[in-house]
Amino acid sequence: MNSEKYITSEIETPAFICDLDIINKTLYFHKEIAEKSGCKILFSLKSFTIIEILKYIQKKLDGFSVSSLFEAKLAKKILTNNQYIHFTTPGIRKDEIEEISQISSHLIFNSLSQYEQYKSLINANTQIGFRINPKFSANIDTRYNPCCLNSKLGIPIKDFVNFIKEKSITNFTGIHFHTNCDSTDFSFLYDTFYLLEKNMKDIFNKIKWINLGGGYLYEGNPNLDIFYNLIKEIKQKYNIEVFIEPGSSIIRNSCFLIANIIDLFEGDNKKIAILDTTINHIPEVFEYNYRLKIHNESFNGNNEYILCGSSCLAGDKFGSYKFDNPLKIGDKIIFENIGSYSIVKANMFNGINLPDFYQYDKINGLNLIKKFNYEDFIEKYE
């Protein structure tokens, strides 16, 4: 990938860049898997919320999945009336439930308690669903494993089945589950569905839709036939709509962060490069110890540097990287594949300004979408 094409005299660093050509390719691919499988695709807003890009994304998908009132309002602002808004969250506020219900096409309750609290307040045109926790773990990191011990996400199968039977609940139309993260193994999705089917056969014969959640990576996945077969099997057996809600799978590879080296020195016999950005612009580097991919890094290079952000946080480090040539002040560093959970989580800790946001395509080049400033920083505290 020629990431250097984003570096021009007009760009100031740090800068987030979203490449619409990459987005278009990714959206085309996801649209193709929807057509081949018969599923509907919702983009997960929690992964990315730049409005100009969302307007582009919505044209190729069936809607958005959201987890807060603000996300729901943003989805409503962008989507057309015939697109879907699936809402689910562990904590619905009483003062927000009616507005959420008015906005959402599908309101998915995370707990039986919240259903009991709010069932009388739901808009008549809003479809009600429940999030199920199969307690079936893929052994991923517990920090982002929806099925970890003591999980707050979803209703255990047994509790749900007993509740539906005991209360004779009939006003729900679907179920939702989300059990994985960054996985390419669709056999686990198959196993999860079969676990639900085994324990909820009667319920599957009554519902109109199922949302299989997110956490899977589709493009370039060699196991897509397993996914296609599962969707076709569900639709043939039960004649219901099937939704998936990818986030990272759609947006991650399309975005980049360009930073400038503003200082170089040695510390304890290690070369240290200070950048004009910070891990607070890509917080998951710190939260999950991610090692980001960098354009022009060389695993066999003889010039190794610890790349650090410019905040006062001691742990503001991107990690150690090797290069073929020595770095110098003024060189640009390009972090790749940072579209998901970076821009949406970025903050101005230490008063360091957020990167400018650009969109790029090969016809129009770079186009500045959003420039942040002191007013954006201070308005939070005034």
Q: What is the pLDDT of residues 155-202, one digit of tens each?
A: 999 999 999 998 888 899 999 999 988 888 899 899 999 999 999 989
* pLDDT of 140 strictly over 80: no
Above pLDDT 90, what percent of the chain? 83
- Give the pLDDT band (50/70/90) at residue 336: very high
* d(C-alpha 95, C-alpha 91), whole Å: 12
Backbone angles phi, psi at 141, to 5 degrees: -50, 130
H helices present in the chain, as ranges: 20-37, 51-58, 69-78, 97-103, 112-118, 157-167, 186-199, 201-204, 224-238, 248-251, 284-288, 374-378
Per-residue pLDDT averaged across 258-278, rounded? 97
CA-nearest of 9, 106, 59, 37 to 250 is 59
* d(C-alpha 272, C-alpha 317), whole Å: 10
* d(C-alpha 255, C-alpha 335), whole Å: 9
Backbone angles phi, psi at 261, to 5 degrees: -80, 120
- Spell out the domains of the chain, with CATH numbers in brackets: 3-17+253-378 (2.40.37.10), 38-246 (3.20.20.10)
Neighbouring-strand partners of residue 176: 131, 211
What confidence score (pLDDT) does residue 263 get?
Answer: 98
pLDDT averaged over the chain?
94
* d(C-alpha 72, C-alpha 84), whole Å: 11
The answer to whether 211 touches 176, Cβ cutoff 8 Å, is yes
Per-residue pLDDT averaged across 280-295, rounded? 91
* pLDDT of 287 strictly over 90: no
pLDDT per residue as tens digits for the range 299-328? 999 999 999 999 999 999 999 999 999 999
What confidence score (pLDDT) does residue 84 get?
Answer: 98
pLDDT per residue as tens digits for the range 85-101? 999 999 999 999 999 99
Per-residue pLDDT averaged across 40-45, rounded? 97
CA-nearest of 52, 58, 91 to 76 is 58
- Per-residue tokens: 219: 């493009």
Neighbouring-strand partners of residue 99: none
CB atoms within 10 A of CB 345: 15
Task: DSSP for 333-365, please give it.
Answer: EEEES--SSSTTT---GGGPPPPEEEEEETTTE
Q: What 3-state DSSP class applies to 249?
A: helix
What confidence score (pLDDT) does residue 6 get?
Answer: 87
* pLDDT of 47 strictly over 80: yes
* pLDDT of 2 strictly over 90: no
Note the pTM of the prediction, 2 decimals.
0.94
Q: Running DSSP on this structure, what letter comes out for residue 138?
A: -
* pLDDT of 1 strictly over 80: no
pLDDT per residue as tens digits for the range 13-37? 999 999 999 999 999 999 999 999 9
- Distances in Å between the alpha carbon of 248 and those of 46, 130, 143, 214? 10, 24, 17, 9
The answer to whether 41 touches 58, Cβ cutoff 8 Å, is no
* pLDDT of 370 strictly over 70: yes
